[in-house]
Chains A and B, each alone.
Chain A
Amino acid sequence: MALSDTFGLERPIATVGDFFALLKPRVMSLVIFTGLAGIVVAPGHIDVLSAFTALLCIAVGAGASGALNMAYDSDIDGLMSRTATRPIPRGVIARGDVLVFGWGLSVASVATMGLLINVLAAALLAFTILFYVVVYTLWLKRSTAQNIVIGGLAGALPPAIGWAAVTGSLTFAPLVLVAITFLWTPPHFWALALYRSDDYARAGVPMLPVVKGKAHTRWQILFYALVLFPAGIAPAFIGLGGPLYLAVSALGGAAMIYGAVNVLRERDAVKEPAARRLFGISLIYLFAIFAALIAEHLIGLLPFGPWA
């Protein structure tokens, strides 16, 4: 028996589940989904194992970014109810261990992408991780109300990484998919920020509702929802999406605008039910449009596509 056991000094160690939670599995699932969309819509052929490897690297890279975000934000995570139960604020994993875990996975995912897929995909993955960790987490998040707008670029890039994994190049088409997630991020996060604004204020994070007020945020949400509509349906007009995609993205875009108008007309500034609904709508929107895109390409629903 160890000496620490005898004197009752042993503390509970982190479980496999705690380490998995560091990877932000829910964010990861969205990134896998949009990355897969980039892979399946890209012209040219990729074997199943290479596609799996590329997607795995994107997922692990995204997870590593999440872990590093939790490491560098551990001081403010403990102050907010949404993030207080993360492994570092709970005290089950040391911040230094998470830094090693996160940077280790980052290097591993980028190196694997470079060795097994191609250099452009690896470079884009490295850029995504560094942008999220350095530009967003360490810099913008605590310094400007536009934090999630600019930082959203990191979360938007996976379709471009997927496209680059297949083609070894970047063109206008995958950047349209990047633009969709980029424009989707502000209404998604600001909806959350509206009903969590007390949390952000307590932690000193300059989210838009904290800095500019809720009324300003509601108008901004509507603005981005309106701009998102044409961006959302654009893939149907540049040959990436077919009728199914057009229908889903048009309906989804309309639902986003409807949700944003309700947020604008919200009178319950305490519970913010409309903002909670818009947050849910935005998650369904992104899943639905990328699912439509993937379905059209993978199961041959695209009438004039390469798989038809």
Chain B
Amino acid sequence: MADDDETIAQRNRRERRKRNIAIALVLGGMVLLFFLMTIVRLGGHVFDGTA
């Protein structure tokens, strides 16, 4: 019984870590997407002064 509980706790720690990594990747991806879309929309206009 005690072994089982420990296994669940360990499993939960592992899964929680995976969930945290997944959330970090999604948020990082969102930031990157907004950054890249901004660059695409600005195009060359930053450099020629029309942005």
Contact = CB atoms under 8 A, between A and B. Distances in A.
Interface residues of B, number: 20
B37 to A, nearest CB: 5
Interface in A117-147: none
Chain A interface bracket (under 10, 10 to 19, 20 to 34, 35 or more): 20 to 34
A15 B20 CA distance: 11
Given A5-B5, A5-B6, A8-B2, A13 B36 contact: no
Most chain A beta-carbon neighbours within 10 Å: one of B12, B16, B18, B22: B12
Contacts of A5: 5-6, 9
A115 B34 CA distance: 9
B37 A13 contact: no
A10 B15 contact: no
A47 interface: yes
- Looking at chain B's contact residues, the main secondary structure is helix
A172 B16 CA distance: 48
B5 to A, nearest CB: 4
Interface in A140-165: none
Contact of A53 (B2, B6, B12, B33): B33
Interface string A1-32: 11001001011111110010000000000000
A105 to B, nearest CB: 10
Contacts of B34: 115-116
B51 interface: no
Contact of A10 (B2, B12, B36): B12
Contacts of B37: 49-50, 53, 116
5 contacts: A13-B12, A13-B15, A15-B18, A49-B37, A115-B34
Interface of B: 1-2, 4-6, 8-9, 11-12, 15-16, 18-19, 22, 30, 33-34, 36-37, 40
List the 3 closest pairs (A to B, CB-CB), nearest first. Answer: A8-B5, A5-B9, A16-B22
